[in-house]
Amino acid sequence: MSWNAIVAAAALVAGMTLPHAASAQYAGPEATRAAYSDGEYGGARQTYSSQEILDKGHAFFGSMSRGLAGIVEKATSQWGEPNGYILGEEAAGAFVGGLRYGEGKLFTRGGQEQRVYWQGPSLGFDFGGDGARTMILVYNLPANEAIFSRFAGINGSAYLVGGLGMTALKDYNTVLVPIRTGLGVRLGVNVGYLKVTPHSTWNPF
């Protein structure tokens, strides 16, 4: 066999095998999309961007929204982007023990809205009372109905910026992050929970 024939045969074999070798590099499973980046992959965005939350928050809190950017930045760094949020009001008062009641509306993508109510005991060294506008960021909510549950956590002023306070509560994979502002000062860390219901009730348990 001539040298030219050998080179031609080698080139033919290489042309047949290289595509298979290249495709084998991508034969593994596709990477799981991050919940907060759906919009970046061409699909419909299922979450709310930080800017969207800031716009909603500034309109909701008005002149009391100073410090909201810092709150949203911290929440995003810990839990990503929410796929829902609640706008409402609540009242609470405690001295080594007390109650918290609120009502508002849950917003999710697709124009879905849901009236919600929340109640819960608050236990701990928590002085004073407040009546507050409350924005609750909702993470990993699989369906609107899943909001009706009990969410436990450290329910106090875990993070304060410019008169706004952020706390966090969790039920399995769903996380609620209430952002509050209002009259009165609540001091200390109090351990409790929030029970979210579709109807108003005075029973926090």
99 or 141, greater pLDDT: 141
- Band (pLDDT 50/70/90 cuts) for residue 154 is low
pLDDT of 35 above 60: no
pLDDT of 196 above 80: yes
CA gap 163, 68 in Å, rounded: 9
Domain ranges in the chain are: 49-197
Query: What does the pLDDT read at residue 133?
Result: 86
Mean pLDDT is lowest, of 15-29, 75-89, 158-172, for 15-29
Residue 91 backbone zone (phi > 0: left; psi -120 to 50: alpha; other: beta): beta
Amino acid (1-letter code) at residue 20:
H
Residue (of 52, 50, 23, 46) closest to 33 by Cα position: 46
CA gap 203, 105 in Å, rounded: 20
Task: Provide the 10 A C-beta neighbour count for residue 32.
Answer: 6
Instruction: Give the CA distances from residue 75 to residues 29, 152, 187, 194, 198, in Å, rounded to whole numbers and listed in that order.
Output: 31, 17, 21, 19, 26
Report the C-alpha dihedral over residues 113, 198, 48, 44, rounded to 10 degrees: -60
95 or 88, greater pLDDT: 88
CATH class of 49-197: mainly beta
Max mean pLDDT among 4-18, 89-103, 104-118, 170-184 falls in: 104-118
- pLDDT, one tens digit per residue, over 68-91 is 999 899 899 989 999 999 999 987
- pLDDT, one tens digit per residue, over 113-134 is 999 999 987 655 555 555 678 9
Query: What does the pLDDT read at residue 195?
Result: 93
Query: What does the pLDDT read at residue 131?
Result: 63
Amino acid (1-letter code) at residue 137:
L
Query: What does the pLDDT read at residue 41?
Result: 45
CB burial of residue 4 (10 Å; 0-12, 13-18, 19+): exposed
pLDDT of 188 above 50: no
